[in-house]
Amino acid sequence: MFRKITSLTSFFSILVLTITSIVLYFVPQGRVAYWADWTFLGLSKEQWGDIHICTGALFLVVSVLHIWLNWKPILAYLKKKGGEANFTSPAFFVSIIITLFVAFGALAGLPPMKQVLEFGIYLKALGEAEYGNPPYGHAELSSLAVFCKRTGLNADKAIASIRKAGLELESAKESIKSIAARMDITPKALHEIILKDQQEAAQPSESKPRSGLKQEDSHNSGNGSGSGSGAGIGRMSLEDYCLKYNLDLNTALGILREKGAVVDKSTTIREIAGSLGLSSPREVSVLLNP
């Protein structure tokens, strides 16, 4: 009975470990998953990780019990017909070589381990492109006041935006994650609501000098100024800008998102400048071409 329970528990736990391993292989990077409130089958990345760890501990315990209950058969595999120990059998060496090859091959970047790891990185990048990056690590755990300070946003206006969205907020001490949960949205969506309102509030003051900015850009272009400061870049999408000036799009997105801008490849340079509170599109060029 005990032997059967041990074997079946081992089987079911490794089944659960297989499922959680696959899910954790595909899940976006932690900072992205937490920021976008990523879930699969109703469970967050953290919950999938908890299941994986606890089931792994169970599997370790039942594996030790399984070895103890089957110690004689295991010893039989390592013995010759005469009864003495046999550590020269092909099965012994093949099993050792396979295990070492996978373990050290992962560190040395040997195929197929290299391809498995690279595909995992590719999947993480897809998640990052889809869900976006937080302004900084674990931004969702910051209080609204700290979050606004670190991203250059006005805390009072942020509170007004949240109240406008239908949630009563007494102070800016509550965390971004908690506020987003009470609004039934993701921390990323909450950030976009706050940012959008503050961008719209700043728009009138930025609309007047636009013609002057174009003339200034044109003047700088005629003087042969540096890359990215020519006329008309304000109307260019970030993707077109990166293509024109030979920049990596993902790197540019990362730089801008770290500064607190909500952008994608179709966002124009002028819109990026406005979202960051910059006086002209040329200042975006300075950020992207340090």
With respect to residue 258, please indicate whether it lies within any of the assigned structural domains.
yes
User: Is the predicted pLDDT of residue 230 greater than 70, yes or no?
Assistant: no
Query: Which of 187, 205, 223 is the last residue before a domain boundary?
Result: 205
Most confident of 31-40, 55-64, 65-74, 219-228: 55-64
Identify whether residues 170 and 217 lie together within a single domain. no
Identify whether residues 219 and 256 lie together within a single domain. yes
Identify whether residues 93 and 111 lie together within a single domain. yes
Identify whether residues 194 and 222 lie together within a single domain. no
With respect to residue 40, please indicate whether it lies within any of the assigned structural domains.
yes
Other CB atoms within a 10 A radius of the CB of residue 242 amount to 20
Span 231-290, pLDDT tens digits: 468 888 888 888 888 888 878 887 888 787 778 888 888 888 887 878 788 888 888 876
Identify whether residues 122 and 49 lie together within a single domain. yes
Length of the chain: 290
Per-residue pLDDT at 280: 81
Domain with 149 in it: 139-205
The packing angle between helices 210-222 and 281-288, to 10°, is 50
Higher pLDDT, 6 or 83: 6
Identify whether residues 188 and 221 lie together within a single domain. no
Lowest model confidence (mean pLDDT) among 15-24, 104-113, 190-199: 190-199
User: Which residues make Cβ contacts (< 8 Å) with residue 182, sequence separation at least 6?
Assistant: 167
Average pLDDT value for residue range 216-241: 57
Question: What is the average pLDDT value for the chain, to the nearest integer?
Answer: 82
Identify whether residues 241 and 199 lie together within a single domain. no
Query: Which of 205, 220, 247 is the last residue before a domain boundary?
Result: 205
Q: How far apart are the C-alpha atoms of 103 and 105, rounded to whole Å?
A: 6
Identify whether residues 82 and 198 lie together within a single domain. no
Per-residue pLDDT at 238: 87
Find out whether 198 and 153 touch, Cβ atoms under 8 Å: yes
Identify whether residues 10 and 76 lie together within a single domain. yes
With respect to residue 134, please indicate whether it lies within any of the assigned structural domains.
no
Query: Which of 178, 205, 232 is the last residue before a domain boundary?
Result: 205
Identify whether residues 100 and 167 lie together within a single domain. no
With respect to residue 257, please indicate whether it lies within any of the assigned structural domains.
yes
User: Is the predicted pLDDT of residue 202 greater than 50, yes or no?
Assistant: yes
With respect to residue 222, please indicate whether it lies within any of the assigned structural domains.
yes
Cα–Cα nearest to 2, from 65, 58, 49, 54: 65
Identify whether residues 20 and 103 lie together within a single domain. yes
User: Is the predicted pLDDT of residue 80 greater than 80, yes or no?
Assistant: no
Span 94-151, pLDDT tens digits: 888 998 999 999 999 999 999 999 998 888 888 888 888 888 888 899 999 999 998 8
With respect to residue 281, please indicate whether it lies within any of the assigned structural domains.
yes
Identify whether residues 20 and 122 lie together within a single domain. yes
Joined together, the tokens standing for residue 101 give 């090859």
User: Is the predicted pLDDT of residue 90 greater than 50, yes or no?
Assistant: yes
User: Is the predicted pLDDT of residue 189 greater than 80, yes or no?
Assistant: yes
* The amino acid at 261: A
Span 40-63, pLDDT tens digits: 999 999 999 999 999 999 999 999
Q: How many domains does the chain have?
A: 3
Question: Global pTM?
Answer: 0.58
Find out whether 182 and 195 touch, Cβ atoms under 8 Å: no
Q: What percent of the chain is modeled with pLDDT above 90?
A: 32
Higher pLDDT, 216 or 24: 24
Per-residue pLDDT at 229: 43
With respect to residue 74, please indicate whether it lies within any of the assigned structural domains.
yes
Q: Which pLDDT band, with edges at 50, 70 and 90, does 81 fall under?
A: low
With respect to residue 118, please indicate whether it lies within any of the assigned structural domains.
yes
